[in-house]
Amino acid sequence: MSATLTTQLRNAVDGTIETDVALSRYTTWKVGGRADWLITPRTIDGLEKALTMLRATGVPWLVVGGGSNLLVKDGGFRGAVITMHRLRTIDIRSDGQVQVEAGATLAQVIKKGIKAGWGGLESLAGIPGTIGGATVMNAGADGMELGRVIREVQLYNGEDRQRWSHDQCGFSYRSSAFQRDSVVTVVTLALTVGEPAQLETRYKERLAARRETHPYGLPNAGSVFKNPPGKVAWRMIDAVGLRGARRGDAQISPRHTNFIVNLGGARAADILALIEFTRKRVAAEFDVELETEVKIVGEDG
C-alpha cells in the first residue's frame, strides 16, 4: 500500500480516505477481510477524481453500494474499495423522469417517487441496495426488473464520461452490459403517474409480503442463486433437503432456501463452502448448474 497515493487521494478527493479497513462493516453479510483503501466521496466530482488517480496508478478498485449481493472473501481486497452512500441526490422532474445518484437506495427512490405521485417500482419494495448496484445487476422481483424503467445511465471509467441509452445497457435477467472497469454514477428513470395513497398501499403490501417470506433480522445478501431457465432455485434447494443446512455459522435460511444467513459468527469461507455444497447437491439431483447471483470478490483468507 502506497503512503504517497494515500496522501494524494486525501489532497485531491472531496471525501474521506481510510486505510486497512475491515470490509465486514460494509457488507450486509457482515463478513469479509480488509481493504487497502476505503474511499467515500461526497460528490460525483470527488468520485471521478479518485477513479482517475486509481486508474493512473494501476490500483484495482471495487465499488460497494449498500453491500448486498456481495461476498468479500476473508483475505480481503488488495486495492481500493469505493463506497457510494454519500452520493444519494434524487431529482424528480415534472414529467416523471427521475435522475438519481448511484448511492441512493432503491427504497429511497421508491418512497420519494410515491410521495410525489410517481410509481412503477412498487414491486421492488424490500430489495436492499443502491440504484447503482441495482442497475448493474438489473434487480427485479415478481416479474418486474429495474432495467425496464431506466432511460439513461451515466458512467465513468477513470478516463472518460459516458452516457448510455436504455438499449446500450443490454439488460437481461439479473445482468447488464456494464463492464467492471466502469462505475455507474447517475441513473435516469421514467416513472408512471399515480395517486400517492394507492401507490403507498401497493408498496406496503409488497413490502409486507416480502418480509413474510424472506429472512429478516439476520445478516444476508439477498438471493444467492439465479433462477435457471424454466426453474426456481429455492425449490430445487429445498427438494434436495438443504433447508436449514449449515457450515459453521452460515445457514441456508429455514424461511427461504435461496438465502444464506449469518447466525453471528460466520466467515466468508463458511458461506462459500455452503454455496459450493448446494451447487453440487442440486447438480447431482437435477443436472442443473446453479449460477450465483451474488458477486464474489477478494482473496482467500
In a domain, 218, yes or no: no
Same domain, 122 and 182: yes
Same-domain status, 128 and 71: no
Same domain for 95 and 78: no
Residue 299 has pLDDT above 70, yes or no: yes
Q: Which residues are catalytic?
A: 174, 223, 293
Judged on CB neighbours under 10 Å (0-12, 13-18, 19+), 45 is: exposed
Range 270-294 average pLDDT:
97
| pLDDT attached to residue 104 | 97
**Whole-number pLDDT of residue 211:** 87
Q: What is the mean pLDDT of residues 195-199?
A: 95
Edge-first strand order for the sheet with 161-165 is: 90-92, 97-101, 183-190, 150-156, 161-165
Element (H, E) at 176: none
**Stated pTM of the model:** 0.92
Q: Which residue has the cell 458512467?
A: 155
- Same domain? 185 vs 70: no
pLDDT, tens digit, 9 for 90 and up, residues 155-184? 999 999 999 999 999 999 999 999 888 999
Residue 227: inside a domain: no
Do 98 and 190 sit in the same domain of this protein?
Answer: yes
Q: Which residues contact 180 (CB under 8 A, 6 or more apart)?
A: none
Q: Could you tell me the pLDDT band of residue 142, with boundaries at 50, 70 and 90? A: confident
Question: How many separate domains does the chain show?
Answer: 3
- State whether 106 and 79 are in the same domain: no
C-alpha cell at 168: 446500450
Identify any residues that bridge with 292 across adjacent strands, giving them in sequence order: 225
Report residue 128's pLDDT band, with 50, 70 and 90 as the boundaries. confident
CATH of the domain at 131: 3.30.465.10
What is the structure's pLDDT at 1? Answer: 64
- Residue 29 confidence (pLDDT) above 70: yes
Q: Which domain holds residue 243?
A: 233-297
Q: Is residue 228 part of a domain?
A: no
Say if CB 28 and CB 218 are below 8 A apart.
no
Task: Please give the mean pLDDT across all residues of the chain.
Answer: 95
pLDDT for res 15:
96
Residues 79 and 104 in one domain: no
Whether residue 215 contacts residue 255, with contact meaning beta carbons closer than 8 Å, is answered with yes
Cα 67 from Cα 82, distance rounded (Å): 11
CATH code of the domain covering residue 24: 3.30.43.10
> Which tens digit of pLDDT belongs to each residue from 212-236?
889 988 999 999 999 999 999 999 9
Q: Are residues 36 and 74 in the same domain?
A: yes
